[in-house]
């Protein structure tokens, strides 16, 4: 696999790279991140390697991330057309103004116009609902987004960080009304965060939403920088956002990543990214970088092919505890299949099932 081996995003014709460039670190406005020059070097390297999917948001580095992307693409002839720019709305950029955030029509239209201005473009390829706004009816949000699509200011829409039941409701409503449906789902997904496999991942696969995982390395915990040997002495820049995840379970995952990395001739980070990219329903995994060398290390995941045994080992060591009814669903083959194999899933006979000699009522 390479960056130029594109995939369609969900039930759409939009072709995106298997690794998406996350740009939350573009700009130093939060006191950390990449300088403008370094951000532009990262953009250039990603595009040169064949990548085409760039993810940002109106709130990233106070809007500076969008400006950096827009300025770079405006100077690079032909690159805007080849790039798939994804940005987000919902973050409030004007404290004190209750209408400057969320999913209302008023905010969506204004946020879109501001993102278009910062990005120096006439259209947004993929407009994400950054999170569900419980104070706005979802039909208002969907209708506003559909109007932007019909006006040519947005090409596709997606949902991020939203409960499965609300995304499903929105999807059915959009189909019923003839509005533009979500084509993608952006969620946190990694070897550490697998609870999304209970509801969000099955929903996305059923409805045809392309999954775009964020934080596939859990904020750098799975980067290979932290090991069982140095975890106790770790003093990361992000403090407890990293150290809180250096648990026994996660250190066991890191141990397995290091072991498989040696077998595959790859870094632990590349192995962790390759695992995420192999998961059912995943279309494009978001990778971020503050430095050019970090980008190169992450993009190396595009060339890593894990064996079934290696994938199984990672699955086992990272097995999540899922909410009901996920545990109950493991028993369904026994209840429903009568000891047969259906669609590749074998089953045992339910011990309490009627026997041939039993009277059936």
Residue 106 CA to residue 203 CA, distance in Å, equals 29
Maximum Cα–Cα distance across the chain: 80
Choice among 6, 46, 60, 189 that is catalytic: 60
CB atoms within 10 A of CB 169: 14
Backbone φ, ψ for residue 75 (5° rounding) = -85, -20
The dihedral built from the CA positions of residue 193, 194, 197 and 198, taken in this order, carries a sign that is: negative
Q: Do residues 90 and 44 lie in contact, with contact meaning Cβ atoms separated by under 8 Å?
A: no
Residue 151 CA to residue 193 CA, distance in Å, equals 38
The token pair at 269 is 């980070």
CB atoms within 10 A of CB 352: 6
CB-based contacts of 242, cutoff 8 Å, min separation 6? 219, 220, 221, 226, 234, 236
Residue with tokens 């086992």: 316
Q: Would you call 60 a catalytic residue per the annotation?
A: yes
Active-site residue set = 60
């Amino acid at each position: 696999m390479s960056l130029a081996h594109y995939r369609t995003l969900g039930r759409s014709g939009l072709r995106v790279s298997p690794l998406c460039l996350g740009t939350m670190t573009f700009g130093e406005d939060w006191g950390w991140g990449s300088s403008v020059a370094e951000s532009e070097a990262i953009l250039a390297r990603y595009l040169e390697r064949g990548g085409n999917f760039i993810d940002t948001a109106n709130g990233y580095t106070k809007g500076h991330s969008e400006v950096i992307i827009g300025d770079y693409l405006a100077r690079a002839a032909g690159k805007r057309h080849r790039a798939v720019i994804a940005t987000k709305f919902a973050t409030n950029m004007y404290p004190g103004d209750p209408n400057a955030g969320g999913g209302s029509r008023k905010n969506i239209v204004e946020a879109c116009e501001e993102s278009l201005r910062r990005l120096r473009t006439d259209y947004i390829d993929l407009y994400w609902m950054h999170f569900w706004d419980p104070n706005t009816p979802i039909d208002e949000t969907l209708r506003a987004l559909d109007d932007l699509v019909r006006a040519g200011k947005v090409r596709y829409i997606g949902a991020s960080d939203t409960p499965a039941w609300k995304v499903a409701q929105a999807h059915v409503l959009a189909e019923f009304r003839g509005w533009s449906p979500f084509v993608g789902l952006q969620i946190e997904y990694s070897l550490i965060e697998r609870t999304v496999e209970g509801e969000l991942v099955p929903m996305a696969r059923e409805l045809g939403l392309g999954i775009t995982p964020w934080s596939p390395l859990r904020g750098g915990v799975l980067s290979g920088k932290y090991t069982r040997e140095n975890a106790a002495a770790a003093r990361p820049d992000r403090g407890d956002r990293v150290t809180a995840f250096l648990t026994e379970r996660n250190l066991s995952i890191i141990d397995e990543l290091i072991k498989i990395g040696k077998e595959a001739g790859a870094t632990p980070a590349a192995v962790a990214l390759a695992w995420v990219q192999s998961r059912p329903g995943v279309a494009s995994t978001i990778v971020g970088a503050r430095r050019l060398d970090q980008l190169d290390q992450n993009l190396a995941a595009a060339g890593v092919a894990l064996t079934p045994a290696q994938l199984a080992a990672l699955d086992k060591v990272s097995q999540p505890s899922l909410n009901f009814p996920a545990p109950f669903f493991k028993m369904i083959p026994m209840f429903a299949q009568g000891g047969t194999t259906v669609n590749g899933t074998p089953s045992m006979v339910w011990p309490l099932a009627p026997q041939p000699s039993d009277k059936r009522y």
